A and B are shown apart, each in its own frame.
Chain A
Amino acid sequence: MIFDPNVILKHLPEIISGTGVTLALWLAGMALGILIGFLVATLRRYGGRLIDLPLGLAVEVLRGTPFLIQIFLVYYGGPFIGISLDPIPCGLLGLSIYAAAYYSEIFRAGYASVPHGHVEAGECLGLTQFQIIRRILLPEMALIVLPPSVNLAVILLKESAVLSIITVPELTTTVSAIGSQEYAFLEAIFLLAIIYWVIVECAARLGRLAETRLSTFRFAAS
């Protein structure tokens, strides 16, 4: 068996399309995950025990079970409760919810990292809870939540390969198919690793850049 790069060149359009699907699902899943995760963390913080307990349980279940099984359940179990989704929307839904569970924990830690006195200062000056979240809590937790968020983004990208199991036409699905079709498994797997690694490296660098920017104001030792 010899390594034949021509296989890759021949299927370049499909590979690019697969990469596009992976990138789109990853970014959209991350955006939705951040949004839902932030909402969940905020509801758990302000909503009282009746909201905190069920949401906490949901987060624990999602974090405690493999993504592979979750996505199987949604795709093959969904039709039993009347939810039949095409692979791409199903993949996006699964990825978003999985991401939301982890992001909600990151934001929970972010909320907890802001000294309570900073919130009290806002209350004394007449800021509403919403203004306190927007003007004080979010900017103050930004530096705390950024590194774990980038880390989670990297994990999500790699987990998105699992979506090949429900035939989402993403990178892993596409490249594996090429491998089987051309009988060039080594080239395919090697290429897959390289593409994922390049995206991860870009994301990590962007994250570090953002961190440096944010650190221009350092936190006072109080």
Chain B
Amino acid sequence: MTLPAISVRSLVKRFGTSTVLQEIDLDVPEGKVSCLIGPSGSGKSTLLRCLAFLEEASEGMITVNGEALGFFENSKGERERLPAAQIRAVRSQIGMVFQQFNLWPHMTALGNVSEALKTVHKVPKAEAEERAMVQLTKVGLANRAGHYPSQLSGGQQQRVAIARALALSPKIMLFDEPTSALDPELTGEVLNVMRELAAEGMTMVVVSHEIGFAATVGHQISFLDQGRLLFTGPPSEIFAKPRHPRLEQFLDTYLDRGASMLA
């Protein structure tokens, strides 16, 4: 087994006086799909946002392919912040997909996908748009390139958002409840794109309420509850009976929501 794509050690996240993540240790294996599941407020989205450096961990270390993300431990053993350019360099290995898509409404689908190539990577416009089209084709939206987000369905918007992240060729893709804002019919098309990505060997970390997706596509499942990572393992182990009582209780709520095959 090679180096983990992301490694989290003793991560603590506090908002003011409340601790939302306590002593999290997690290894995200390369080329695999890791799913974070757990009830609302368990801290799984916060953990993912820490991996994207959208939240700064209060304590602990995160390394991405061996490089420290945001903070490192200096020779005296103190936690020190890395310079902004270095933080950006490590972050550039990571693509992020949001629950609310967060497409820029004043740009077309093509504009959204090509924007960072043009402004950040200084790729000439024609080449940037060509590369953006490749990604839009990949998510099945080549014929929607000229549409503004408001002219696209939720599922299409989320697929554009995935293409936008993929355009920068990230090594790791993070998904924060990518289908929670979609109705069941549109959920499928987004999950299909994610399945294809997984089949190509993309390293993925997925926060999702789609237990079915986690069980069928996920290689590693982590269950969080009240800010603690209760356990991590392959789906066969996690969902095998007898289960941890807290997980059993959590899964019960899914029985009537399409995950009945796990009962």
Q: Is the CB of A121 within 8 A of B102?
A: yes
CB of B119 within 8 A of CB of A120, answer no
Nearest residue, chain B, Cβ from A142:
B106
Does A14 belong to the interface (CB within 8 Å)? no
Closest A residue to B115 by CB, please name it: A135
Count chain B residues whose beta carbon lies closer than 8 angstroms to a beta carbon of A: 29
With A217-B150, A219-B105, A220-B157 as contacts: A125 and B98 at CB distance below 8 Å: no
Contacts of A122 in B (CB 8 A): 116
How many whole Å from A77's CB to the nearest CB in chain B? 44
Interface residue from B54, B120, B150, B168 paired with A218 (Cβ < 8 Å): B150
Please state if B88 and A126 are interface contacts (CB–CB under 8 Å). yes
B69 at the binding interface (Cβ < 8 Å)? no
On chain B, the residues within 8 Å of A142 by CB distance are 106
Q: Is the CB of B100 within 8 A of A127?
A: no
Residues from chain A with Cβ under 8 Å of B168 in the complex:
125-126
**Interface stretch (choices B89-97, B185-193, B228-236):** B89-97
Indicate if A136 sits at the interface (CB-CB under 8 A).
yes
Listed residue (A117, A122, A217, A220) with the most chain B CB atoms within 10 angstroms of its CB: A220
List A residues 120-144 near B (Cβ within 8 Å).
Answer: 120-127, 131, 135-136, 139-140, 142
Q: Is residue A89 within 8 Å, beta carbon to beta carbon, of the partner chain?
A: no
Within 8 Å of chain A (Cβ to Cβ): is B36? no
Interface residues of A in 10-34 (CB under 8 A from B): none
Please name all residues of chain B whose beta carbon is closer than 8 Å to the beta carbon of A139 when the two chains form the complex.
106
A118 CB-CB contact with B under 8 Å:
yes
Q: Does B72 contact A (CB under 8 A)?
A: no
Cβ A219 vs Cβ B102 within 8 A: no
Kindly state the separation between the CA atoms of A121 and B164 in the bound complex, as whole angstroms: 10
Q: Quick check: is A47 within 8 A (CB to CB) of the other chain?
A: no
| B104 close to A115 (CB less than 8 A) | no
Cβ–Cβ < 8 Å partners of B164 in chain A: 121, 125
The A contact surface, by secondary structure, is helix
| Chain A count of residues within 8 A CB distance of the other chain | 23
Query: Is B213 in contact with chain A by the CB < 8 A criterion?
Result: no
Q: CA separation between A221 and B149, bound complex, in Å? A: 9
Q: Which residues of A contact B106 (CB under 8 A)?
A: 139-140, 142, 217
A65 at the interface (CB under 8 A from B): no
- Cβ contacts under 8 Å, B100 to chain A: 115, 117, 222
Known contacts A217-B150, A220-B157; A126 and B102 CB within 8 A of each other: no
Contacts of B104 in A (CB 8 A): 118, 121, 136, 140
Please determine whether A120 and B102 come into contact, CB atoms closer than 8 angstroms. yes
Contact B105 A135 (CB under 8 A): no
Given A117-B100, A126-B92, A126-B116, 19 further pairs, Cβ under 8 A: A117-B98, A118-B102, A120-B102, A121-B96, A121-B103, A121-B161, A124-B54, A124-B95, A125-B120, A127-B119, A135-B119, A136-B104, A140-B104, A140-B106, A217-B106, A217-B148, A218-B150, A220-B148, A220-B157
